[in-house]
Amino acid sequence: MQNNVRPESMERITTKALADAFIAEQVEAVRKQVGDKKVLLALSGGVDSSVVAALLIKAIGKQLVCVHVNHGLMRKGESEQVIEVFGKELDANLIYIDATDRFLDLLKDVAEPERKRKIIGGEFIKVFDEEAAKLEGIKFLAQGTIYPDILESDGVKAHHNVGGLPDDMAMELVEPVKLLFKDEVRVVGEALGLPHAMVYRQPFPGPGLGVRCLGAITRDRLNALREADAILREEFDNCGLAEKVWQYFIAVPDFKSVGVRDNKRYEGWPAIIRAVNTTDAMSATIEEIPYAVLHKITDRITHEVEGINRVLLDLTPKPIGTIEWE
């Protein structure tokens, strides 16, 4: 499986038995490729990098060095789960970098979406490069490339797969799941014993909450967004929508409206719910959310999250609206 073309004869991995066979095959292939050298992996906590990390830990143990960069734009509890699962349960060779202040200071007063993306992507590469430069004996770079990444045009997912790393790092790539589709990666992840919630985590953009905290990011609005998003995810889990909806999240724009709290006028931001289904992310339809669920989410967000006083539902399909707001 060293080329980038999936053989037509390759069976789709749909069962634990098929996943176990794939894992055994890749463990052998990785050991043969890597030998006794070290492998570096940017562990985001997303599905693909998490499955690659678990697979490589099984294959080469402490020869794998995982670097998790918390850019301060993660969803609530995500970095903590990476530390718990990989640092404690799997005893990985894990380097955790809390770069929150570094990223948020750079993003201060930056409102233009594409500039935000470039700052976040560029700084991520700098932080990762700095950590890599401190390490000795790294000969390989592992990536969570999957088959749809290969099918897309070059450069489309450069940030997602750390494609901007300097050429002088001169590391050979290790990409054990590059011929798998996302549903297959999840079957492999469960067979490796990763938590169900991690394996079925919904897609999350590289810039994270940076493109959902609309306009110039402030720490108070970012915190409100993170808390509101956690409530949405919790209530979707509770009512069975979590695995029925492809992607769901909160966006918080940079303006306020008047409301009432404790019998006083109260200015706050709106929280906008986006919930869509898609097969290829090129088009998307709106998920029907029961009003009882919407009412509960609204009640919790407006009462539990400081700074938010309205909840809105985005009913725009793609096209005409994109999935993300920025």
* Contact (Cβ atoms closer than 8 angstroms) between residue 187 and residue 16: yes
- The distance in angstroms from the start CA to the end CA of the chain is 37
Q: What is the DSSP string of 226-269?
A: HHHHHHHHHHHHHHT-TTTSSEEEEEB-S--EEEEETTEEEEEE
Predicted confidence band at 159 (pLDDT cuts at 50, 70, 90)?
A: very low
Residue 155 has a pLDDT of: 42
Residue 320 is assigned to a structural domain of this protein: no
Residue 206 has a pLDDT of: 85
| Total-model pTM | 0.85
The C-alpha R_g of the chain, in whole angstroms, comes to 21
Q: pLDDT, tens digit, for every residue of 263-273?
A: 889 899 999 99
pLDDT at 169 over 50: yes
Secondary structure letter of residue 85 according to DSSP: I
Q: Which domain covers residue 299, as residue numbers?
A: 212-313
Residues 127 and 103 in one domain: yes
Residues 149 and 216 in one domain: no
Predicted confidence band at 10 (pLDDT cuts at 50, 70, 90)?
A: confident
Residue 167 has a pLDDT of: 54
- What total of structural domains would you count in the chain? 2
Encoding tokens for residue 19?
């996943």
Output the domain CATH number for residue 103.
3.40.50.620
Tokens 């720490």, residue located: 219
pLDDT at 44 over 60: yes
Q: How far is C-alpha 164 from the geometric centre of its chain's CA atoms?
A: 18
Of 153, 171, 199, the residue at which a domain comes to its end is 199
Residues 184 and 58 in one domain: yes
Residue 207 is assigned to a structural domain of this protein: no
Which H or E element spans position 82? Answer: helix 78-82
Which H or E element spans position 142? Answer: strand 138-142
Helix axes 47-60, 182-191, angle to 10 degrees: 40
Residues 218 and 149 in one domain: no
> Highest mean pLDDT: which of 151-155, 170-174, 181-185?
181-185
Residues 219 and 106 in one domain: no
Predicted confidence band at 154 (pLDDT cuts at 50, 70, 90)?
A: very low
Beta strands in 252-322 (DSSP E): 257-261, 264-277, 285-286, 308-313
Predicted confidence band at 164 (pLDDT cuts at 50, 70, 90)?
A: very low
Residues 116 and 229 in one domain: no
Question: Nearest 5°: phi and psi at 164?
Answer: -95, 10
